[in-house]
Structures are given as C-alpha cells and as structure tokens.
Structure 1
Amino acid sequence: MSNGDDEPDDDAAETGGASADELETRLDEAADTLEAAETEADLDEVETTLDDVEADLEAADLPEPDEDDEDAEDPREELESRLSDLRDDLESQRGPYADDVIDILDAAQGTVTDSEWTEAGEPDAHDAVDAFLAASEEYVDHDADAGSDLDAAADALGTVADAIESADLDADEDAETIAGLLETAETLEDALEAAEVWDDLTVQEQLDVKGFYDVLTNENRKDFPAEWNAAKIHAKEGNLDIVLFALETLGSEYMEEYIIDIFYHLGSEAEPAFDVMNQRAQKRDKGPIKVLGKIGDERATETLHDFIDGDGDPALQKVTLRSLGSIGSEESVQPVANRLDADNAEIRSSAARALGMLGDTRAVAPLADVLESDESDEVRASAAWALRQIGTEDALDEAAKYTDDRAYLVQAEAEKASGA
C-alpha cells in the first residue's frame, strides 16, 4: 500500500526488508529464551517468536545462491532448517500433559478388549492393569477395580482416565504428578505389549493350543503331513470348528484344497461349515461352491445365482449349476432355465441336468423345447435325462417321443422314459 508519495508503507518495508543476519539474530534470541524457559507460558512466548520469524522469512527478499557454484550457501534454506529444528526442540520441551496419559489409557483400553490373547497372555494382561491401578493411586484418587476379567479391567482403565481428567492437572504446577502418571501409563503400555497374543504364536503353536494335534497317536501319525491326518480325524469325530480353524490358519493351498474336499465328502453333515464356505464361494472359488451343493442349504442360492449369468467362466457356471441342482430350491428354477439359451453347449447341458435335479414341473416345457431343437445331441440327451428325473407323466411322454432318435444318447434316455 502507498501512503501518498513514492515511499513504501512502513509495515511492508519492515517485513519485506528483513535480512538474513537479522533473522538469524532473532532465532539466536529465541534459542536462548527456549533454553531458559521454565513454564508453559515461557514456551508459548517462544512459539510466538518463531511464528513471527517464519512470517518475516516468507516475506523476506533474500539473495538466491549462485547456480554456478555448487558449494554456494542458500540463506533461506539454512534459516528454514534452523527454524524447523527450534520448533522440534520447543515441542520436546513441552509437557508432559494429563492428556498424554489419558491418550495412553484410551489406547490401552482398546488393546485389552480387542486383542486376541492366548491362554498365557490373558492373565498377564490382567496383571498389568492391576499393577497400573495400584501404582496410579499414588498420583490420583480413584476407586477403579480390575475385577476378575479383562472387560472389568478395561472399564477400570476408563475410570482412572476419568479421574485424571477431573483432577484438572496443570502442566506447570502438577508437573511431577503428571510425570509420575505418565511413567506408570507407559509401564502399562509396555506390559500389555509384552503379553502374548495369538499373532505372537506360530501356526503350529496356535493349532497345538487349540488341541488340533491331540487326536494323533503313535499309530496314526504315519500320514504326512500331520495336519492332513488330524483334520481327517477331527472331521470324522464331528469336530468341525477346529477343522475350520485349521482351514483359516494353515494358509497352505494344498491343505485348503484337502480340507474343503473333506467338507465335500461330509455332505449335509458339513452344515457347521456353511458360513465359511458361503463366504469363500463369494470369491467364485469352485471348491466351496461344490461344498455348498452338498450341504444343500437354500441360503446359498442368492450367492450362486449371480455366478450363472452371462457367458463368463464356463467351468464356474457348470459347477454352480450342479450345486444349485443339488440344493433343490424352487427359487433356482427360472435362473437355471435361463441358461438353456447359453452359447456354450456344456453350460446348456449342465443347466438341463440341474433342472432335472430340481425336479420342478415348470421345467418340462423348456426342456421339451431343448430336446426338440437344440443343435447339440449331448444337450438334448441331458434334457431327456432331466425329463426322466422330473418323472411326471407329461415329462416322461416328452422324453419317450425320441426312442428312434438319430443320437444314441437321446435314444437311450427315451427308451428308459418309455419303459418308466
């Protein structure tokens, strides 16, 4: 801004005209003040000074370093670096504050309640809270009690945090109290970190703690790997929860395929595995989709119907169609029948057979159309087979029309229908 003549505004001249030496001097003074600071008010004064220096540095017209001289110093860069260092020193000299303690206790509450403790780690975590409660009583009044379980222990930490907040501790006047509380809180933090959680164990240790290997004896340990035989024995004894735990824990593709195959052969007895298999099936994993068909739970149809639309992965569609046929939900009749028009003959054939497994009479007409006009004899044979599975008089009559068909597979199915 101009004041009416050619002279610059005083404020602008004062700010814009700061030299590197002047700014350096002010930073020296701020450093001396910081070293002598004893209270939060002193530190606030230093922060204000640094803010002013930063503003003046941004506005200062400082000389640029000589681009042709690699060793040339950049005064702005040096001042900015020193300013940053002083801010770091300022922050390290502040506090501690009561809020620092409360933040640690809030985090510790989450650790206590959310961690998956081992059998050994749980009592260690509880003891750590007990020790903190006893030590913190020296600095703040509270009636917190860790009780007998970790939920009560977590609540107790919240009680202490509330007591600290209510005490309204001052960073200057109550510095020793805050420092003592901070030390006890950090000790709690370290003790909880040291207590054992599941992630600290190896996979084999986790399985061992769960009793996965307990079913193995000298006689049945001969199968390799040991997990292979243990999973088979647990499944046979109906201990599917521990088999599912092994499935989620082992992380081996070989063991995953093996355990899923175990569930497949269990058939409807694998019902306890439904949720896990349904979740895995949503990733278009063919193994779990096959298991869902064997379990036969109609809840799976909502997931599986999505996998037979369009002309995507033919292998996935065929597996899904077979599973839908095995589940036998009437809700699947129309979605499956829609696949009789698929471009891929194998998918059309699988859809026809799935309709036969579903056994719904609504499928008789579309199957009869396929038997009459589909260009693939294999698909037509599947349609004839499906009509036989439905087994009503109308269905058998439609299939029996083709006893002298050109294709042997169709003819064979028609003769069986005629005999029925």
Structure 2
Amino acid sequence: MSDGEDTDNADESPEEGAGEEAPAEAEPPEEELADPDEFDRRLDEAAELVEAAETEDDLDEADETIDEIEADLDAATLPTPEPEVGEDEDPEDVEPPDPKEEFEDRISDLRDDIEEQRGPYVEDITDVLDGAGTTITTSEWTHEGEDEVAEAVSAFFADASDTLGEDFELTAEEPEAVAEELEAVTETIGETELDPDDDAQTIATLLDRSETLESDLDDAMVWSDLEVREQLRRQGFYDVLDPSVTKDFPPELSAIYVYEAQGEVEPILEALDSFGSDFMEKDILDVLEHLAPEEAFDPVHALAQRRNKQPVRILGRIGDEAACDTLEDFLGGGDVELEKITLRSLGMIGAEQSTDPVAQRLAADNREIRSSAARALGLIGDTRAVEPLGDVLEDDDADEVRASAAWALNQIGTERALETAAEYADDRSYLVQSEAEKAESV
C-alpha cells in the first residue's frame, strides 16, 4: 500500500508543480515610493545651515548637503499628486503635476542664497578695476573728461591706500598713462592675500571703492556725449567765423548761450516754446538744468509729465513743492532709473508731504531704489522717517541700503535719529560703521 501511495504521490507531484508556476507570472511588486515629507525636512535643515553659515567653509558644507539631497531626489520616486481639474476640464486631459518640481525649486533657491552669501573676493575687485582700465583706454575723452578720469582714479588710489595701508599715488595725467598706473595698482591688489572670511570688510570696502571709480568713469564726458555741432565747436571749427554772425549752428543756439551767460531766462523759455526741434529742446534743457530758474517750472513740469528723466531732474533742482504730486506718481512704475531720479528730486525739493510715499519705497524689491529712497528721506529731513529708517538698518539684507539709511539718519540729525544710527557702531558693514561713528561724534 505504501508503495502504491508513494507512486500515486509521485504521479501527482508534477501536476502540483505545474499548478505552482502561476505566481512566477504575476506582476512584480510596485516600486517603493519615497516620502515627500522627508525631503521637506532635509531641505528645511539645509536652509538652516545656509542661514547660519558665517564662513566659506560653512557655505561649502551647506552646498555638499544640498548636493546629497539633490542626488537622492533624482533617484527617488515620489507619489504623484492629484491634478487640479477645472469645472470645464476633462480629468483625463489634465496632466498631474511633477512631484519633484517644488523640491527642485527649493534646491535652486538655496543654491542662489549660497552664492549671494559668498564673497566678495579679491577677484571681484580686480574684475571691476580691469573693466575700469578698459573704459579709460577705449573711450574718446573730451578735455573735461580727461581731467575727470584723472580725478576719479586719484580718488580711488587715496581710498585704496587708506584701506590697505599702501601708498598709491597717481602721477600721470593722460588717459593712457593713467590706465597703466591703474593696472599696476590692480595687480598689487590682486596679489594681496585677503581672506574672504577674515578680511571680508576690507574686501567689501575696496569693492565699493572700485565700483565708485567705475561709476565716476561712466559719468566722465566723452565726445559721444556731445552733439555733432558741440564737438565741432569744442574742436574750434567755428572759431574762424565772425562771432557777431554765429558761433554755433544753428545761430539761435549762440543766442541761448549768451542768454545763459547773462542769466536771462525769459528768452530761453521763449525759445523752448517756439522751437519744435528735439535737438534744440535738449540743448535748452541742458541750459535750464544748469540755471534751474523758478520761471522754468511750468514748461519743465509739462515735459516731466511725459516721464522724461531730464525734466524730472530739473524739477528737483528748481525745488518747487508744486511738482511733488506729479513726481510721487512716478514711484513704483517699474522704470528703475526714472524712479531713482524721481526720489533724488523729491529729496532735493524737501517737502514733508513726500515723506510717506518715499518711505513706502524702502520696501521696493530693487536695492538701488531702496537706497535712493533712504537718501531722499535724509534730504527731506522729516522726523517721521526715523523709525522706518531704523527698521531698514535692522532688517535690510543689502549693506549699501543700510548705509544709506544710516546716512539719512545723520542728515535728519535729531537726537533720536542720531541715537538710532549710533547703535550700529560695531556693524558688519564698514560703511554703516562709518555713519554710526559720525552719529556718535555729534
């Protein structure tokens, strides 16, 4: 019997084995999904590392942490979120969102934060100075421009000497020779062993002075800044003509220059009203910007309402409070250069009615606008600006903006304003420190 049973069992085994092959054809188990909350947590920790970083090594460590998170994210499979379906949309036509996109955006933002915190480095200074040298050698300077170039480089040498304890002194006058001396100083600065952590303030100060040099060179006069007839006049082209007939072309321009020299405004305004030429309008506005007469307010105000920058600048020089409503409308319009000029003009006018609209621009996204707003408040001098300027000193992430706020508090000059500025005598920024020390010494 047992043999028979064994035989039966043996006969049945293949059939049972055949029946057990089915699981091998089943679908493989689903890939394990990563937990999005875990990536959120790790990115939160990375953000804390970035925020707390004080040295380049700290930033390198944060960067490595983010690299690890990014690698893990690339390798992970995340749950796909349910798509948002509109009332008139077919769910099958709506693609679900990328579950990794939000994390990739956070990683990108953290990398941007790291780069923003790095430096500045000595290489940043030499890059700016190399650009300044190129500007000097490739520009066609007027006689006034040559003097302005030499003055700008000489001022930079003085600042760099004070900062580094060196003895840089400009001896040249011609642009080519000035550029050679600047190149030598640039090389010396490049060889200076300044550490981005230990010497951060020194590097920042030199970079600020380098950028000031760059700006001064941009403002210096080149021949292309002048109209063709002005170039010819400065080259002496018209000197052979009888001065009683004409000195410039058109002859009306000669008359305008005479009226400018005599300080007679009415004929100049009549010319502005009579000539329909943009060429003449620009020349007349140049004269009016120099004279800034009160009588020019109405025609200049009319031109400024077209958001023309030069008339806006002239209104600031004229200083009539009647312009404030118009100028305040230009704030926050998106044109950064126009807004900077407008803020400067409102500051020069100095009307307290402009304090609030100008103070609101302390929250602008653009740091140049925030800085211009702070300085405008200093020029206005309204004590209501002390508190918002103090908030800028405390909270703004751009040191140049904070320095402008400290400068403005010094300009306001009340006891409270000076005390607010003086609190930052040990500030991380040399420029803020300098203004704070001025406030302390009053």
TM-score by length of 2: 0.44
Q: Name the larger-Rg structure.
A: 1
TM-score by length of 1: 0.46
